[in-house]
């Protein structure tokens, strides 16, 4: 492991500790420090993951969405869509840390602390879910949905894995992706 990778892991550990203690401001700053370290060492994917983890603390944080859009590469348009959705909608600030899947007779919903139901889910197949934004979040962009769904499905993801768990997702208007436990998603499945 390189010195930069070790520093990033240390900062993420510090951020996760702050989250457990309820200190979101310190957690956010530690995630930003980890992202800055990753960026300065050319580790763009790691930087995006750090920014995404900070964004999980407040899914309506425009500054973080803009930072991710700036360095997101092939997923850049999805983050620009996210920024536009935040401008167009007056959603309350909420976290997806603590997101839960609640299952009922007709399917399930994902709930988030402070927001309640945010996504409706149906299990299409063993390895495939259909996800639709709750009515209050009708303009939800794909990137926001993937952040929420990742935390709901993998509340304690394994960070250092060679083959992360993943699931196929069809989102809203038929967009199909494969989401993994690290929070990455990939094109049509």
93 occurs within a structural domain: no
Quick check: 110 and 101 in contact, CB under 8 A? yes
Write out the H or E segment, with its range, that includes residue 156: none
pLDDT tens across 50-85, in order?
999 999 999 999 999 999 999 987 778 999 999 999
144 shares its domain with 169: yes
pTM, rounded to two decimals: 0.92
Query: pLDDT-based confidence at 188, cuts 50/70/90?
Result: low
136 and 69 in a single domain? The answer is no
Per DSSP, the three-state class of 173 is: coil
Instruction: Please say which residue of 57, 88, 119 terminates a domain.
Output: 88
Residue 94 lies in a domain: no
The residue range of the domain holding 15 is 3-88
- Residues forming a β-bridge with 33: none
Percent of the chain whose predicted confidence (pLDDT) is above 90: 79
Instruction: State which of 60, 88, 116 marks the end of a domain.
Output: 88
- 95 lies in a domain? no
pLDDT at position 34 over 60: yes
Query: Does one domain contain both 75 and 41?
Result: yes
DSSP 126: T
As for how many domains the chain has, the answer is 2
């Amino acid at each position: 492991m390189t010195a930069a990778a070790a520093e990033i892991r240390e900062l993420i550990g510090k951020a996760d500790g702050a989250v457990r203690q309820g200190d979101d401001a310190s957690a956010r700053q530690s995630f930003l420090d980890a992202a800055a370290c990753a960026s300065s060492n050319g580790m763009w994917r790691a930087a995006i993951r750090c920014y995404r983890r900070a964004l999980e603390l407040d899914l309506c944080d425009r500054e973080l969405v803009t930072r991710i859009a700036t360095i997101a590469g092939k997923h850049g348009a999805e983050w620009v869509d996210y920024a536009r959705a935040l401008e167009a909608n007056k959603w309350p600030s909420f976290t997806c840390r603590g997101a839960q899947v609640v299952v009922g007779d007709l399917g399930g919903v994902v709930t988030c602390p402070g927001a309640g139901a945010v996504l409706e889910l149906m299990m299409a197949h063993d390895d495939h879910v259909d996800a639709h934004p709750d009515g209050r979040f009708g303009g939800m962009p794909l990137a926001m949905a993937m952040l929420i769904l990742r935390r709901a499905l993998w509340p304690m993801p394994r960070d250092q894995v060679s083959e992360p768990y993943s699931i196929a997702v069809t989102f809203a208007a038929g967009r199909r992706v494969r989401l993994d436990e690290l929070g990455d998603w990939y094109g049509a499945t």
